[in-house]
Amino acid sequence: MSRVLSSTIETIKNLIEEELEPTAQLPNELELVNLTNVSRATVRAAIARLEMDGLVTKVWGVGTFVTEPAPQTGFGFLSLRTGVPGILATTGGEVTVHRFESLDQPPEPTMFADFSEAATVSTVRVFALDGVPAVLIRDRMIAEFQGAKIDVSPLRSAEEIVPDQLGSIGLELQRVELDVTAIDLSAEDQTLFGLVASEPAVQTAGEGYDLLDRRILITKGIYRTKLMGLRVTVS
């Protein structure tokens, strides 16, 4: 990105942050040219980048508007009773499963040494808050225990949580140990979130154990920091 374009983007971003309210209309192209002292082509490129980053919304034939931010929430790790849906629900917004995938997997002794012959299952879920994808969770868990087989299809609903599914086959998720790091979204994760550009995010990577201290879950979560706060607690 050229220095001129970068400077123009920052100037318009400052205008948005300091003078414009959400949903307010930006000045027209000519006014932005006069404000930034650059060409119309550069102004258009800057607006395109801001739109790609989700800061503005362009309505053809009408104008460009400041995007109304999605509701934000802080998050605590990890409430086994409510999981991610419960955390998002504290905002008062509508929590839905935006995307759900599951894949039956073979036994994995290196991951689950105490269940070396048990089949496993992996799931991918993207949770949305008021229709905006906010959290991506990848889980791999024990899929069978003492003759019972897990059914992960209820996880298509935001009302269901992984501990309940493990409990249905007789395994109680007692605790989860997590590492929390800051990342930039990969191209794959951008696609899962439905984004066209990367943005800062927080990633959690952890393991879940049952009452006998046996590992029964490996989990990874990605939280969009534009939508989520960074208050982290463990319970």
What pLDDT digit, counting tens, does each position of 136-189 carry?
A: 999 999 999 999 999 999 999 998 899 999 999 999 998 888 888 888 888 899
* DSSP helix/strand/coil, 199: coil
What pLDDT digit, counting tens, does each position of 202-218 carry?
A: 898 999 999 999 999 99
Contact at 8 Å (CB) between 220 and 65?
Answer: no
* DSSP helix/strand/coil, 31: helix
CATH 3.40.1410.10 boundaries in the chain: 83-224
DSSP per-residue codes, 61-113: TTEEEEPPPPP-B---TT-TTTHHHHHHHTTSS-EEEEEEEEEEE---TTT-G
pLDDT in the model for residue 217: 96
What pLDDT digit, counting tens, does each position of 1-55 carry?
A: 688 888 999 999 999 888 888 889 999 999 999 999 999 999 998 998 888 777 8
If phi > 0 it is left, if psi is from -120 to 50 it is alpha, else beta; for residue 192 that is alpha
**CATH number of this structure's domain 3-66, picked from the four choices 3.40.50.920, 3.30.470.30, 3.90.550.10, 1.10.10.10:** 1.10.10.10
pTM of the model: 0.67
pLDDT in the model for residue 234: 43
pLDDT in the model for residue 125: 96
Residue in this structure with the two tokens 């990342």, named with its chain if needed: 183
pLDDT in the model for residue 68: 75
CATH 1.10.10.10 boundaries in the chain: 3-66
- Nearest 5°: the CA angle 195, 201, 203 is 120
CATH architecture observed for domain 83-224 = 3-Layer(aba) Sandwich (3.40)
